[in-house]
Structure 1
Amino acid sequence: MLIDDTFVGTWVQLVTQSWPGAADAVMFHRVFWMFPPCIKAFNHCKPLISFDRTHLYGKYGGTLLMAIAQDGNANIFPIAFAMVEGETKEAWSFFLSYLRHHVTPQPGVLVISDKHKSIDAALNVDDSLWKPPHAFQAFCTRHIASNFMTHFKNKDLKKVLINAAYSKSQREFTHYFGRLRGENEAITKWLEEMPRSQYADEGRRFRHMTTNISECINAVMKGSRNLPITALVKSTYF
């Protein structure tokens, strides 16, 4: 759906649903939008996207989903948004589908996010264009470390885990991984449930080990969380 004659190329997909008890009436359900300058700029950026979401506190609630990129000069900017009913697999699938087809069709893009089950499930559905070789998935090191503390509650080994993730060579990684195995074999079994590429830097991350770039935009959007839908969309434009 192409809209807004004042900014040609803006693309919006609005989804409505039936109003309960009123056959001829519909109400807002979800909306995806993006602005053309950001899409053009992404062609010249690192092939990397950071995901984040923020819960809205206005009258109607909901969740704002965001995809964020960074250029070679370390400028951070959003490339797409969606307002959805909540953080579910279906909502993320809605966002990811339009993001892939209209914003980031390039092969080999890396996606960085936390380990929320709804994001992981949406990225890995059958015939997904977000799986290798079309795209690759990585997790935020800070969230991995947080999950580690939930399971093992060991601050010293948490630091070893982070050092392993940030390792710049196979030798360095092997050293830290060996320390984890020597301390507690359950830790290595826990890590081996994920491919190493999802928590360590194997050359696709451009040293982006966390979702900091998307959390920066999240902070910028903090003042918009209680706005009505139309006003919130306008705030992302400005």
Structure 2
Amino acid sequence: MDFTETERAMDASASLVARESDPSRVDDLQKNSFYNSKENLIIAVGLWNMKRGTKTKVIRSDLGCVYFTCKHSDKCKFDLHASSHGGGMWGVHKLKEHSCQADLRRAKKIKTHSKVVAAYVANRIRDDGEVIKPKSIMAELVRDFGIKIKYDVALRARNLEMEMIYGRVDDSFLLLPRYLYALREANPGTLIGLEVDVDCRFKHLFVALAASISPFYFHLRPVIVVDGTHLKGKNSGILFVAVAKDGNEAVFPLAIGVGPIENDESWKWFMSHLRQACGEPENLLVVSDAHVSIANAVKSEFPNATYGICYYHLLNKIKGYGPGVAELFYQAAYAYKQSDYTRVMSTWLL
């Protein structure tokens, strides 16, 4: 499947994904206030309780209405009724304030849901763009409301707040075709590869910017170093990279890619696109660690290139032969003249 077909397929699947509305920015709960979902109404009640140190419970909830009372209903006149108004909107049509004493409210530890904490913190993040750490959320709730929450609740709240503001990470994959199209339009000559499986789920990605491809053709030595590293987070995978060196001996990026696992299939897919981007110039040398899948992919996609293992990984393999061998290897690796290299290798062979 080429990039254009993949773009159409993923855009079609994107229309099937229902996106949740952002929680309402609630400053206070009051009669005749409206919310765009029942969940947002419940979050608003949770925020209202958190700010006042009160506790409520749901005594009735169905498709058309929801009723709240105080957890100390035998000693409190609090009463909140809300109902559906169609189109997903929910409105508060009855609200009586708490009449229970403050010491009764604080008699037991208040449990705060992570969604409520997330909604409270998200309001501030929208204003200053700061991404708050879980421990900072815990400290803020103690400072502002005297509420203590566990670290895992704060962590879930932080992750939920990021989804509220930026959307779900899983859904962002559906935006890839549009992003890559815009990237290619803004950088003519950029090579892009995107592959999905039979269920239209993300599988492989390749990006080589035109600004990286052109210098390799005309100005850089024909040496490409490739490697892969594991991605962290909810959506794991492997990040593939290909780099070269410029005239100042600085690392020069050529291409990046993403795949599900570091195996023969993924490396061959990445290498095939790398060959399209960089070609196979004369005397090309491809360097990597000792991963066998990389060696197989180079042999398959760059049949005329020379393949070598990098200095660091090769040194680790020969250290066991003694310090003298390692020193000779170092001298040979850093011999910049043919005569020096021949002399060191002759000593080694002796």
TM-score, normalised relative to structure 1 = 0.63
Stretches of structure 2 that go unaligned for 5 or more consecutive residues are: 5-180
Quick one: distance in 2 between partners of 1:161 and 1:72? Answer: 25
Equivalent runs, 1:57-206 vs 2, <5 Å:
57-125=232-300, 128=301, 130-131=302-303, 134-149=304-319, 152=320, 154-167=322-335, 168-178=340-350
Q: Does 1:37 align with 2:211?
A: yes
Residue 144 of structure 1 aligns with an amino acid whose one-letter code is L
CA offset at residue 32 of structure 1? Answer: 0.8
Note if contact 2:222-2:283 (Cα within 8 Å) is conserved in structure 1.
Answer: yes
Quick one: distance in 2 between partners of 1:38 and 1:164? Answer: 31
Could you list the structure 1 runs, at least 4 aligned residues long, displaced by more than 3 angstroms after superposition: 164-167
Note if contact 1:66-1:80 (Cα within 8 Å) is conserved in structure 2.
Answer: yes
Larger fraction in helix? 2
The RMSD of aligned alpha carbons is 1.9
166, 183, 192: which one aligns with 1:12: 192
Note if contact 1:161-1:177 (Cα within 8 Å) is conserved in structure 2.
Answer: no
27, 36, 43: which one aligns with 2:201: 27
Q: Look up the SS of the partner of 1:143 in the other structure.
A: helix
CA offset at residue 62 of structure 1? Answer: 0.4
CA offset at residue 153 of structure 1? Answer: 5.7
Note if contact 1:64-1:84 (Cα within 8 Å) is conserved in structure 2.
Answer: yes
Note if contact 1:165-1:173 (Cα within 8 Å) is conserved in structure 2.
Answer: no
Deviations for 1:141-172, whole angstroms, at most 9, x for unmatched residues? 211111223xx363343223333444433132
Quick one: distance in 2 between partners of 1:45 and 1:94? Answer: 24
CA offset at residue 29 of structure 1? Answer: 0.5
Quick one: distance in 2 between partners of 1:105 and 1:121? Answer: 16
Deviations for 1:177-232, whole angstroms, at most 9, x for unmatched residues? 32xxxxxxxxxxxxxxxxxxxxxxxxxxxxxxxxxxxxxxxxxxxxxxxxxxxxxx
Size of the aligned set, in residue pairs, is 165
CA offset at residue 41 of structure 1? Answer: 1.1
TM-score, normalised relative to structure 2 = 0.44
Quick one: distance in 2 between partners of 1:166 and 1:102? Answer: 30
The residue aligned with 1:201 is none
CA offset at residue 58 of structure 1? Answer: 1.8
Residue 11 of structure 1 aligns with an amino acid whose one-letter code is L
Stretches of structure 1 that go unaligned for 5 or more consecutive residues are: 20-25, 179-238
Quick one: distance in 1 between partners of 2:220 and 2:329? Answer: 29
Note if contact 1:62-1:83 (Cα within 8 Å) is conserved in structure 2.
Answer: yes
Deviations for 1:64-96, whole angstroms, at most 9, x for unmatched residues? 111101122323221111101111111111111
Note if contact 2:286-2:308 (Cα within 8 Å) is conserved in structure 1.
Answer: yes
CA offset at residue 175 of structure 1? Answer: 0.7
Note if contact 1:164-1:176 (Cα within 8 Å) is conserved in structure 2.
Answer: no
48, 58, 70: which one aligns with 2:223: 48
Quick one: distance in 2 between partners of 1:163 and 1:57? Answer: 38
CA offset at residue 107 of structure 1? Answer: 2.5
Note if contact 2:242-2:255 (Cα within 8 Å) is conserved in structure 1.
Answer: yes
Residue 173 of structure 1 aligns with an amino acid whose one-letter code is M
Q: Look up the SS of the partner of 1:18 in the other structure.
A: coil
Note if contact 2:209-2:254 (Cα within 8 Å) is conserved in structure 1.
Answer: yes
Shift in CA distance, 166/39, structure 1 to aligned 2, threshold 3 Å: same
Q: Look up the SS of the partner of 2:287 in the other structure.
A: strand
